Amino acid sequence: MDDSGSKSRRALSFGARAAQYAEHRPDYPVEAVRWALEPVRDREQVRVLDLAAGTGRLTQVLLEEPVAVIAVEPDDAMRTELLNRLSGLAALKGTAEDIPLPDERVDAVLVGQAFHWFDPELALPEIARVLKPGGVLAALWNHDDDRVPWVAGLADITGTGVRYSERKHDRADLLPENDLFTAFSQRTFDHVHRRTAATLTETIATHSVTLVKDEQERAETLGRVRAYLDSTPETAGGEFELPLVTIAARVRKL
Ligand SMILES: C[S@@+](CC[C@H](N)C(=O)[O-])C[C@H]1O[C@@H](n2cnc3c(N)ncnc32)[C@H](O)[C@@H]1O
């Protein structure tokens, strides 16, 4: 992750646009979620914690699976949006460094687009505490696929923090080493987000790198994004598919 804007400011920037976030961020491929849960799939009554659940983009995919879901999210605006959309869900206020659950409560902890915001030295032992033995920690990230030329052109304008093509894809970059966890593995999954020039501009407005800009700079960036999408053949003519790659990494509690 790059250092533009302070990390903690960016980590908690999303609540300012919670409704827009819920409306315009992509979901996750069900195959990635099933792969993440595969090591605990045969357990009785699998319980999953969606940590840093935001407005519930990953939670919604989890709720389609035969598992019980608990959400934890620190930002009140994001959690309120999640509860408006998924009423009846257990959604608790808390952070990865201080999870409001008892020891050995869940079979899996899934983290969508958020592990990079955690303090891993505190979060990994805390996640291990709430996991049952052999339980899974899996982190997922949706990346715009900037191996596609028009997507790379867009990334030049948005100044996105980490490009898929530049990500190192090693353990240290995804889920850092920790004595409490073993069996690291990772996979990528192709995914798409159906967008128009207008709705992709809205999506980009919910990226932390955009959210922490001052108002004028943000408007300028989004104006350039919209002009680019309106003048690029692949995106100018109505609905199109933004190509995404979902990176999933998982480890198991010893
Ligand atoms: C990019 S959003 C991802 C939300 C959701 N998981 C998704 O996939 O759409 C990042 C989320 O991480 C939350 N967050 C930031 N720092 C956190 C921390 N230390 N512990 C738990 N959640 C955190 C933010 O409030 C925000 O909702």
CATH number at residue 85: 3.40.50.150
Q: Looking at the domain assignment, is residue 198 inside a domain?
A: no
Here the tokens at position 42 are: 């045969």
Q: Which pLDDT score, from 0 to 100, does residue 5 have?
A: 46
Q: Looking at the domain assignment, is residue 131 inside a domain?
A: yes
Q: Looking at the domain assignment, is residue 237 inside a domain?
A: no
Q: Is the pLDDT of residue 160 over 70?
A: yes
Q: How far is the CA of 14 from the centre of ligand 1 (A)?
A: 8
Beta carbon of 118 within 6 Å of any ligand 1 atom: yes
Q: Domain tally for the chain?
A: 1
**φ, ψ (nearest 5 deg) of residue 21:** -60, -50
The most confident of 9-23, 152-166, 214-228, by mean pLDDT: 214-228
Q: Looking at the domain assignment, is residue 150 inside a domain?
A: no
Q: How far is the CA of 77 from the centre of ligand 1 (A)?
A: 12
Q: Which pLDDT score, from 0 to 100, does residue 28 have?
A: 98
Per residue in 111-120, pLDDT (tens digit) is 999 999 999 9
Q: How far apart (Å, rounded) are the C-alpha atoms in residues 253 and 156?
A: 39
Q: Looking at the domain assignment, is residue 171 inside a domain?
A: yes
Q: What is the mean pLDDT of the chain?
A: 95
Beta carbon of 96 within 6 Å of any ligand 1 atom: yes
Here the tokens at position 61 are: 């995919």
Q: Is the pLDDT of residue 29 over 60?
A: yes
Q: Looking at the domain assignment, is residue 156 inside a domain?
A: no
Q: Averaged over 164-191, what is the pLDDT?
A: 93
For the chain, what percent of residues have pLDDT higher than 70?
98
The whole domain housing 95 covers 7-145+161-193+243-253
Which residue matches tokens 């093509």? 165
Beta carbon of 26 within 6 Å of any ligand 1 atom: no
Whose CA is closest to 221, among 199, 201, 243, 198?
A: 201
Q: Which pLDDT score, from 0 to 100, does residue 2 have?
A: 44
Largest CA distance in the chain: 54
Residue 158's pLDDT band, with cuts at 50, 70 and 90, is very high
Residue 109's pLDDT band, with cuts at 50, 70 and 90, is very high
Q: Which helix (H) or strand (E) holds 244?
A: strand 240-253
Q: Looking at the domain assignment, is residue 115 inside a domain?
A: yes
Pairing of strands 131-144, 240-253: antiparallel
Residue nearest to atom 21 of ligand 1 (CA): 95
Q: How far apart (Å, rounded) are the C-alpha atoms in residues 233 and 193?
A: 17
Helix extents (H) in 118-231: 120-130, 149-158, 171-174, 197-205, 208-211, 215-231
Q: Which amino acid is at 195?
A: R
Q: Looking at the domain assignment, is residue 225 inside a domain?
A: no
